[in-house]
Amino acid sequence: EPEVTQTPSHQVTQMGQEVILRCVPISNHLYFYWYRQILGQKVEFLVSFYNNEISEKSEIFDDQFSVERPDGSNFTLKIRSTKLEDSAMYFCASTQSDRGYGYTFGSGTRLTVV
Protein backbone atom coordinates (compact mmCIF):
# COMPACT_ATOMS: atom_id res chain seq x y z
CA GLU A 1 0.00 0.00 0.00
CA PRO A 2 1.34 3.46 -0.89
CA GLU A 3 2.83 5.42 2.00
CA VAL A 4 3.73 8.95 2.92
CA THR A 5 7.33 8.87 4.08
CA GLN A 6 8.77 11.33 6.58
CA THR A 7 12.38 11.86 7.59
CA PRO A 8 13.89 12.05 10.09
CA SER A 9 11.69 10.23 12.59
CA HIS A 10 13.20 12.21 15.45
CA GLN A 11 15.23 15.40 15.42
CA VAL A 12 16.78 17.29 18.30
CA THR A 13 17.87 20.85 17.65
CA GLN A 14 19.06 23.83 19.63
CA MET A 15 16.83 26.84 20.04
CA GLY A 16 17.42 29.35 17.27
CA GLN A 17 18.59 26.78 14.75
CA GLU A 18 16.91 26.13 11.43
CA VAL A 19 15.35 22.74 10.79
CA ILE A 20 13.99 21.14 7.65
CA LEU A 21 11.48 18.34 7.92
CA ARG A 22 11.14 16.19 4.84
CA CYS A 23 8.22 14.31 3.37
CA VAL A 24 7.69 12.19 0.29
CA PRO A 25 3.95 12.17 -0.48
CA ILE A 26 2.19 9.41 -2.37
CA SER A 27 3.20 9.74 -6.00
CA ASN A 28 -0.17 10.44 -7.63
CA HIS A 29 -1.39 12.79 -4.90
CA LEU A 30 -1.76 16.45 -5.68
CA TYR A 31 -2.51 18.12 -2.35
CA PHE A 32 -0.06 18.25 0.52
CA TYR A 33 -0.40 19.24 4.13
CA TRP A 34 1.56 19.74 7.32
CA TYR A 35 0.02 19.24 10.75
CA ARG A 36 1.46 19.59 14.22
CA GLN A 37 0.72 17.79 17.47
CA ILE A 38 2.18 19.15 20.68
CA LEU A 39 2.66 16.33 23.19
CA GLY A 40 -0.64 15.28 24.73
CA GLN A 41 -2.70 17.65 22.61
CA LYS A 42 -4.80 17.42 19.50
CA VAL A 43 -3.52 17.54 15.95
CA GLU A 44 -3.54 21.03 14.43
CA PHE A 45 -3.50 22.10 10.79
CA LEU A 46 -0.52 24.17 9.71
CA VAL A 47 -0.60 24.56 5.94
CA SER A 48 -1.96 23.13 2.71
CA PHE A 49 -0.11 23.20 -0.60
CA TYR A 50 -1.31 22.69 -4.16
CA ASN A 51 0.09 23.49 -7.57
CA ASN A 52 3.34 24.76 -6.06
CA GLU A 53 1.76 27.29 -3.80
CA ILE A 54 0.17 27.56 -0.39
CA SER A 55 -3.60 27.10 -0.49
CA GLU A 56 -4.29 27.91 3.13
CA LYS A 57 -2.32 28.41 6.31
CA SER A 58 -3.27 28.60 9.96
CA GLU A 59 -2.38 31.23 12.52
CA ILE A 60 0.37 28.94 13.76
CA PHE A 61 2.11 29.12 10.37
CA ASP A 62 3.86 32.44 10.85
CA ASP A 63 6.89 33.90 9.10
CA GLN A 64 9.19 31.40 10.80
CA PHE A 65 7.65 28.61 8.75
CA SER A 66 7.93 27.91 5.06
CA VAL A 67 7.10 25.01 2.75
CA GLU A 68 8.58 23.96 -0.52
CA ARG A 69 8.31 21.25 -3.11
CA PRO A 70 11.85 21.43 -4.45
CA ASP A 71 11.45 18.57 -6.92
CA GLY A 72 8.75 16.22 -8.12
CA SER A 73 8.76 14.04 -5.03
CA ASN A 74 9.79 15.89 -1.86
CA PHE A 75 7.71 18.28 0.24
CA THR A 76 9.54 20.12 3.01
CA LEU A 77 8.66 22.18 6.06
CA LYS A 78 11.32 24.62 7.20
CA ILE A 79 11.35 26.32 10.58
CA ARG A 80 13.75 29.22 10.33
CA SER A 81 14.65 29.86 13.97
CA THR A 82 13.25 27.23 16.28
CA LYS A 83 11.70 28.05 19.64
CA LEU A 84 11.11 25.76 22.58
CA GLU A 85 7.38 25.79 21.84
CA ASP A 86 8.03 24.35 18.37
CA SER A 87 8.71 21.01 20.05
CA ALA A 88 6.01 18.71 18.69
CA MET A 89 5.24 15.86 16.35
CA TYR A 90 4.97 17.11 12.79
CA PHE A 91 2.86 15.13 10.35
CA CYS A 92 2.86 15.37 6.61
CA ALA A 93 -0.26 14.27 4.71
CA SER A 94 -1.31 14.03 1.11
CA THR A 95 -4.56 13.47 -0.79
CA GLN A 96 -5.76 12.72 -4.25
CA SER A 97 -7.97 15.19 -6.02
CA ASP A 98 -11.17 13.39 -5.10
CA ARG A 99 -12.65 14.02 -1.71
CA GLY A 100 -12.45 11.77 1.26
CA TYR A 101 -10.50 8.66 0.62
CA GLY A 102 -6.80 8.82 0.14
CA TYR A 103 -6.10 11.24 2.97
CA THR A 104 -2.91 9.62 4.22
CA PHE A 105 -0.60 10.71 7.00
CA GLY A 106 3.08 9.99 7.32
CA SER A 107 4.45 8.45 10.50
CA GLY A 108 5.61 11.85 11.75
CA THR A 109 8.79 13.62 12.79
CA ARG A 110 9.23 14.24 16.48
CA LEU A 111 11.01 17.58 16.84
CA THR A 112 12.61 18.40 20.16
CA VAL A 113 13.99 21.92 20.65
CA VAL A 114 16.43 22.27 23.54
- Site track for other proteins across 47-86, x = CB under 8 A: -x-x----xx------------------------------
Query: Which of 19, 35, 79, 86 touches other proteins (CB under 8 A)?
Result: 35
Look at residue 85 and give its three-state secondary structure: helix
Residues 8, 112 contacting (CB under 8 angstroms): no
Tell me the closest approach of the beta carbon of residue 21 to other proteins, in angstroms.
14
Query: Which residues lie across from 13 on neighbouring strands?
Result: 113
Tell me the closest approach of the beta carbon of residue 106 to other proteins, in angstroms.
8
- 65-68 and 53-57 beta bridge pairing: unpaired
